[in-house]
Amino acid sequence: MASLTTTAVPGATAYDCAGYYGGACEEPLPRWRHTLRLTWNAPGKVDVSLAWRYIAPVTVSAASLNPVLSSPYDPADARLGARSYFDIGVVWRLNRRLTLRGGVNNLFDTDPPVVGRDATTGVTTNANTYPGLYDSLGRFLFMGLTAAL
């Protein structure tokens, strides 16, 4: 996102939260994030997919030059680095009525960034990270069977 400008109350100084997290900006708001998926339709009624989910780095809002956001902060919380997550999935159509699917999300078990208490004041975190944005549970395996009647 190029910008996310907010004015708390009419007439107040505006601030831009794009690329920041914590304080008035609350949840991390990376300037860039994407998902790229490649799927191979293999012979034998099998599809194999690989997805790359990317989240750009964010800086603690207290480090902003904007006086509305600027405040003292712990240098350990200054920046949450970029994260890349890779997912793989397979879909196998056994016949007209049965489909088997399975895969692994966060294939390489990439850890989420960890933040201190001061950077999250007034913000909902879980296990000192932001599970709404980052994979806080680590590698995740799944499998399912669909039967059409």
Residue 92: alpha-carbon gap to chain centroid: 28
* Dist CA 36 CA 91 (whole Å): 18
Domain boundaries of the chain, sorted by first residue: 5-147
Identify the bridge partners of residue 85 per DSSP, sorted by sequence position.
Answer: 53
Residue 17's nearest CA partner among 54, 62, 55 is 62
What's the confidence (pLDDT) of residue 120? 54
For the chain, 149 residues long, give each residue's pLDDT as a single digit of tens. Answer: 667 777 776 777 788 899 999 888 888 999 999 999 999 998 889 999 999 999 999 999 888 888 888 888 888 888 999 999 999 999 999 999 999 999 999 999 999 998 876 555 555 566 688 888 999 889 999 999 999 98
With beta carbons less than 8 A apart as the criterion, state whether 72 and 102 touch. no
If DSSP states are collapsed to H, E and C, what string results for 27-66?
CCCCCCEEEEEEEEEECCCEEEEEEEEEECCEEEHHHCCC
Give the three-class secondary structure for 105. Answer: strand
What's the confidence (pLDDT) of residue 118? 57
What's the confidence (pLDDT) of residue 55? 97
Give the three-class secondary structure for 85. Answer: strand
